[in-house]
Structure 1
Amino acid sequence: MRTFFLSLLLLTGAAAQAQTPPSSNQITSYEGLHKAAHEGDVDAIRTLVAAGADPDSRDGSGRTPAHIAAFASNDDSLRALAAAGSDMNALENREYDVLTIAAVADDPEMVSLALELGNQPDLITSPYDGTALIAAAHLGHVDVVHRLIAGGAPLDHVNNLGWTALIEAVVLGDGGPNHIETVRALVEAGADIFIGDKDGVTPLQHAEARGYSEIAAIIRAM
């Protein structure tokens, strides 16, 4: 019962805790590196940094130019900012990093690039003390999940709700093809199927309770 209410809390309160991309008004007001990062203007990024601009400057929501590049899916901007010394592991005010922003956006190329540029796959992010992998598993972003696993993301991190990536894929998933494949990827990579939630309910028990027969079969096969 407790887990059920936690699920409702997450689903109904997600808007209050979710990532918040820059608003149209914020984008219009951006100058300097934030504007260049959003627009993908690599020459401007290099010129501004050479003139002394701080590559980790923050907007009113704590977003660095690297966060803006991630929200805008501008790979070239992110590369230029990393070359200029931007902190790839910086957290904005809602505690998200470039990697988790890309994971939530289902942007596999940005995920791979962030990892390549030094964004740590085990960074604790979000108000739930989660990881990029937990966020991707929750949303059923299969390609992102595969890339994060290959990049060394911790499979069994437990967030402050008591959930692993595997539990989130079941509890917050819809039991459809994407979440089935997410569970398969996690299990085949070695995720611990016996870690339960705060009430001791395992991923298999959650899957069975929801009638997710294919997911339950994948877990049972391990």
Structure 2
Amino acid sequence: MNDYGLDGLGPWILHETARLTGDAISVQMLLDAGADPNSADHAGLAPLHYGVQNGDTMVTTYLLGANADPNARDSLGRTSLHHAAMHDGNPRILFLLVAGGADPRAKANDGHQPLHFALRRDPHHQTVTALIELGGANDLTPLQLASLRGDSLTVVSLLARRDRQPPNPNETDALGWGPMHFAVASGSPGTVAVLLANGAAANSPAIGGITPLDLAILRASEPVLQLLACATGADNPPEGLAIAAELPHQDDCAIPPPEEPPWSLYLENDMLRPPWKTDSDQWYTNGFRFAYTPKRMTVRDEDRERRVQWMVGQHMFTPSNLIRV
């Protein structure tokens, strides 16, 4: 029997306490009784990984005080800073981890840094801002960093400089994220517009396939979506850009919605019926990859109100100004 009275179960209890309860006092008691703060479970996750996922500053403080390794990696090569950026994104947690020795530029097995996770999951940009301050964006070029900050004036000055060769507006980082990805993630239409005017690609995929459009959808950025739609042209829209036609505050160059739904709904993987009662025998995707054609469907909700919805990627959008059909 070990020091804290549960033979072989101490590490499990510490993991579960950090993961489920957020009870900092219990965590401290277990640590005082001899629980190992660096023990890993079957997924390589240590108690600190679980503590930061919950955004619990006290649990994080106690674990770091007990010499928990802030750079310990799970089976995917992700550190506690990766997990903090993926989940709660509490800036206090980020500062605690870096103060405790966490590497803000640590790369997971797939090459992703904490910043990449924050760009996908941080709607208010607080985590991104904290990571920039902590050095998590130090691998970026000046243009990429200015785009990430949404600093359109700096982007203009960098692209317009005459004393030396201006930076490439499509230069990417190791994962294929270019200035446009970062500008879209910043939510700054002005920065996106400046980049578009200087030749930045509107919908270039990074490694893994994520495009600026995907980021705009994840962040529900309607003005940026409209800019991307305008940049690609209404005659030959790229994947999914027909959604811009159904968003409010349409620009003149946005794709006008057709009178009749011209696109069928189909799967590349398994075929499943939609969970709604539809007007016709249509099918839609339930796989991880949707077909590349923009898809429009007419559905009926519980109140039997018919409405038009667009499916793009793995997201479904209902126009705020419902179109009755």
Q: Does 1:196 align with 2:171?
A: yes
- Written as runs of structure 1 = structure 2, the 5 A alignment for 1:165-204 is 166=144, 182-184=148-150, 194=168, 196-197=171-172, 203=179
Q: Does 1:35 align with 2:16?
A: yes
Question: Using a 3 Å threshold, how does the CA distance of structure 1 residues 188 and 116 change in structure 2: closer, same or farther?
Answer: farther
- Written as runs of structure 1 = structure 2, the 5 A alignment for 1:1-222 is 31-38=12-19, 39-105=21-87, 106-125=89-108, 127-139=109-121, 141=123, 142-156=125-139, 166=144, 182-184=148-150, 194=168, 196-197=171-172, 203=179, 214-219=190-195
| Aligned match of 2:288 | none
Quote the offset at 1:114 in angstroms: 2.1
Name the structure, 1 or 2, with higher relative contact order (CA <8 Å, separation 6+): 1
| Aligned match of 1:13 | none
User: CA–CA distance in 2 between the matches of 1:116 and 1:181?
Assistant: 27
User: CA–CA distance in 2 between the matches of 1:187 and 1:87?
Assistant: 41
Q: Is the 8 A contact 2:70 2:79 kept in 1?
A: yes
Q: For each residue in 1:33-85, what CA deviation from the matched residue of structure 2 results, as whole angstroms up to 9, or x when unmatched?
A: 11221222223322322332211011111100000101222211110000001
Paired residues, what number?
Answer: 168
Quote the offset at 1:202 in angstroms: 5.4
User: CA–CA distance in 2 between the matches of 1:186 and 1:137?
Assistant: 18
User: CA–CA distance in 1 between the matches of 2:122 and 2:47?
Assistant: 28
| Aligned match of 1:21 | none
The amino acid of 1:115's aligned partner reads V
Q: Is the 8 A contact 2:144 2:179 kept in 1?
A: yes
Quote the offset at 1:185 in angstroms: 5.8
Q: For each residue in 1:169-221, what CA deviation from the matched residue of structure 2 results, as whole angstroms up to 9, or x when unmatched?
A: xxxxxxxxxxx98451699699x9636248x99535998xxxx9633345479
User: CA–CA distance in 2 between the matches of 1:59 and 1:186?
Assistant: 45
The amino acid of 2:29's aligned partner reads T
Give the fraction of aligned pairs with identical amino acids, expressed as a percent: 23
Question: Using a 3 Å threshold, how does the CA distance of structure 1 residues 187 and 32 change in structure 2: closer, same or farther?
Answer: farther
- State TM-score, norm by structure 2: 0.43
User: CA–CA distance in 2 between the matches of 1:31 and 1:97?
Assistant: 19
Q: Which has the higher helix share?
A: 1
The 4+ residue runs of structure 1 with deviation greater than 6 A are none
Higher Rg: 2
Gaps of 5+ in 1: 1-29, 159-164, 168-179
User: CA–CA distance in 1 between the matches of 2:105 and 2:177?
Assistant: 25
What CA RMSD, in Å, does the superposition of the two structures yield over aligned residues? 4.1
- State TM-score, norm by structure 1: 0.60
Equivalent residue of 1:56, what SS? coil
Q: Is the 8 A contact 2:147 2:182 kept in 1?
A: no
User: CA–CA distance in 2 between the matches of 1:96 and 1:102?
Assistant: 10
The amino acid of 1:148's aligned partner reads L
The amino acid of 1:113's aligned partner reads L
Equivalent residue of 2:135, what SS? coil
Q: Is the 8 A contact 1:104 1:139 kept in 2?
A: yes
User: CA–CA distance in 2 between the matches of 1:202 and 1:109?
Assistant: 28
Question: Using a 3 Å threshold, how does the CA distance of structure 1 residues 76 and 185 change in structure 2: closer, same or farther?
Answer: farther
Does 108-117 or 72-81 show the bigger shift?
108-117
Q: For each residue in 1:126-182, what CA deviation from the matched residue of structure 2 results, as whole angstroms up to 9, or x when unmatched?
A: x42121112222445411111111111233359xxxxxx949xxxxxxxxxxxx984
Q: For each residue in 1:79-114, what CA deviation from the matched residue of structure 2 results, as whole angstroms up to 9, or x when unmatched?
A: 000000100111111222121212122433322332
Question: Using a 3 Å threshold, how does the CA distance of structure 1 residues 206 and 76 change in structure 2: closer, same or farther?
Answer: closer
